[in-house]
């Protein structure tokens, strides 16, 4: 009887092993299998690129509008838009040509029959007013487009892992930009747009994009420093310099496959802007800032053509 008990016990152990060993193996293999929902960022929706395009356009228009009021010719022609100088040069030549043609024809800027000069300010004032209205119409169009894109993107961003604080910060910055644009506050609107760009970097964190989020963080700090230097707020501009350096150091590691000469040019332009801001020279900061922005635009174009790393691809 005692021997029989041992036999039953042995058979029971075999049955238990037959049941649990395959189950444990399946559990172990499941734990080793990568979870498609973990470590995989979703593909960036088209709205995220649309927000970036509209925001860049809005910043360029505001910056150009502000620079037109500057007394320094260097500050007038320098722009956050790398192509702004060429556009600005063309518009200035056209303006001069228009003035000289107005003076040479129609007799409105020459002496009248009594020998007294005739004032032509009214036509120029009308053109300036129209130009100002065009600026606000363009920025308003870009703003509405950002609002629409954000409405579409918001639920997808939250699903992708955007934190509530990051979402609220984006909402708050967009609201601040809307208020300042409605009041046509040029400089306040520009700084609000730059701040919104900062929170765009948070969106870039949760989606699979060829351009790393570090790029947008760097560009935000650079634009902020240039804008503050333009207002001669040197304390605020100088506070950004450590952040610019930190983001650049991180970005050049992530962008090590990019063109080496472009990376070298970009690095030197970072140092040049830093020196100009530290020396508190407005014209120099405008020139060096524009060069850095041009290099960043070229770097952005190159990075956007690079494949997304396997760990970043979404389904």
Question: Which domains are present in the chain?
Answer: 41-78+127-209 (1.20.120), 211-307 (1.20.120.290)
Q: Can you give the pLDDT at residue 313?
A: 47
Q: Identify the segments of the chain with pLDDT beneath 50.
A: 21-38, 84-113, 118, 310-315
CA 14, distance to chain mean position in Å, is 65
* Residues in contact with 116: Cβ distance below 8 Å, sequence separation at least 6, in sequence order: none
| Residues 37-48: b if buried by 16+ CB within 10 A, e if exposed | eeebbbbbbebb
Task: Name the residue among 288, 188, 174, 266 with its Cα closest to residue 233.
Answer: 188
DSSP3 helix / strand / coil % (the chain, rounded to 5) = 75, 0, 20
Q: What is the pTM of this model?
A: 0.71
**pLDDT, position 303:** 92
For residues 114 and 30, give the distance between their C-alpha atoms in angstroms, rounded to a whole number: 98
Tokens encoding 162: 């955007």
Largest CA distance in the chain: 141
**Over the stretch 123-146, which tens digit does the pLDDT of each residue have?**
555 655 656 678 899 999 999 999
pLDDT of residue 307: 76
What tokens were used for 135? 């600026």
| Residue 222 pLDDT | 97
Q: Residues near 228 by Cβ (< 8 Å), separated by ≥ 6?
A: 234, 236, 237, 240
**What is the pLDDT at residue 117?**
52
Could you give the CA distance from residue 225 to residue 238 in angstroms, rounded to a whole number? 7
Alpha-carbon distances, residue 274 vs 237, 243, 267, 292 (angstroms): 9, 11, 11, 11
Question: What residues form DSSP beta bridges with 122?
Answer: none
Which letter does DSSP use for residue 186 in this model?
H
> Measured between alpha carbons, how far is 129 from 71 in angstroms, rounded to an integer?
19
Q: Is 111 helix (H, G, I), strand (E, B) or coil?
A: strand
């Amino acid at each position: 009887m005692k021997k029989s008990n041992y036999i039953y016990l042995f058979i029971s152990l075999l049955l238990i092993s037959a049941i649990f060993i395959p189950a444990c193996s399946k559990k172990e293999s499941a734990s080793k299998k990568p979870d498609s929902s973990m470590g995989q960022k979703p593909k960036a929706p088209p709205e995220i690129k649309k927000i970036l395009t509209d925001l860049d356009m809005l910043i360029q228009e505001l910056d150009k509008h502000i620079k037109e009021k500057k007394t320094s010719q260097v500050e007038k022609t320098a722009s956050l838009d790398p192509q702004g100088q060429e556009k600005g040069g063309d518009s200035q030549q056209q303006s001069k040509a228009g003035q000289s043609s107005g003076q040479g024809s129609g007799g409105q800027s020459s002496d009248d029959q009594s020998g007294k000069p005739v004032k032509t300010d009214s036509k120029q004032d009308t053109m300036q007013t129209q130009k100002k209205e065009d600026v606000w119409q363009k920025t308003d169009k870009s703003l509405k487009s950002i609002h629409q894109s954000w409405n579409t993107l918001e639920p997808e961003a939250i699903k992708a892992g955007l934190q509530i604080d990051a979402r609220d910060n984006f909402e708050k910055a967009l609201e601040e930009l809307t208020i300042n644009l409605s009041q046509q506050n040029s400089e306040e609107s520009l700084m609000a747009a730059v701040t919104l760009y900062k929170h765009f970097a948070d969106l870039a964190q949760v989606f699979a994009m060829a351009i790393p989020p570090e790029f947008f963080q760097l560009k935000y700090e650079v634009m902020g420093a240039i804008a503050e230097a333009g207002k001669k707020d040197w304390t605020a501009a100088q506070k950004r310099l450590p952040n610019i350096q930190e983001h650049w150091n991180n970005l050049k590691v992530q962008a090590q496959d990019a063109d080496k000469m472009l990376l070298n040019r970009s690095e030197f332009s970072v140092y040049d802007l830093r020196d100009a801001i530290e020396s508190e020279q407005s014209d120099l900061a405008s020139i060096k800032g524009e060069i850095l922005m041009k290099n960043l635009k070229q770097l952005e174009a190159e990075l956007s053509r690079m494949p997304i790393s396997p760990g970043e691809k979404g389904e």
